[in-house]
Amino acid sequence: MSIIIIDTGCSNLSSLSFAIHRLGYKPIITSNYKDIRIAKKIFIPGVGTAKTAMYNLNKYNIVQEIQEAKVPVLGICLGMQILGSYSMENNVKTKTLGIFDSIVVSMKKNKLSLPHIGWNYVLPVKNNVLLKNIKKKEYFYFIHQYIFPINIFTIAKSVYGESFSAIMCKKNFYGVQFHPEKSGKYGSILIKNFLEI
């Protein structure tokens, strides 16, 4: 099975690759449209900015390949955020992939420190294959400052001063705001669930 980790030009590629290897699969890290076109599973990882990620995807000429993908696609953290319509990082409107009709916004400061870093629970709000064998309110590892508000694509939420989308899904496109590759047992289960879709 051809498993692709898209090189967005941002960090966090190797830890995801290792997590997939531990499950017995051999992913390829690439930004080549030919690899993406024949993939059976596609991961879009990322730690960085939406502006940088989108600049690189456009530079590699793979935006359309991702948008038109018919196979399962999983965006992780920044990779999830660029599946939206726009990102408002640093109060600058950056056009993203337009899969989820929702805009990424900054978390409210409230009395909590930002970015949101550490373990937090994820509460399912809809049934989804990605959550198979994962109990309600299991903990996953987050590191982010920007969020999708709760919307029609939200299948699980978390709370850090405010509720936000922790997992989203639209047809074959999935997104997780946390890092499953850094989330121990249940992160591994979630990646396995995705690979078995």
Catalytic residues: 77, 179, 181
Q: Measure the N-to-C terminal CA separation of the chain; round to a whole number of Å.
A: 12
Q: Determine the length of the chain.
A: 197
Residues forming beta bridges with residue 45, ordered by sequence position: none
**Could you tell me if 64 and 49 are in contact, meaning their C-beta atoms sit under 8 angstroms apart?**
no
CA 27/CA 124 separation, integer angstroms: 28
The number of beta carbons lying within 10 Å of the beta carbon of residue 107 is 17
CA 135/CA 133 separation, integer angstroms: 6
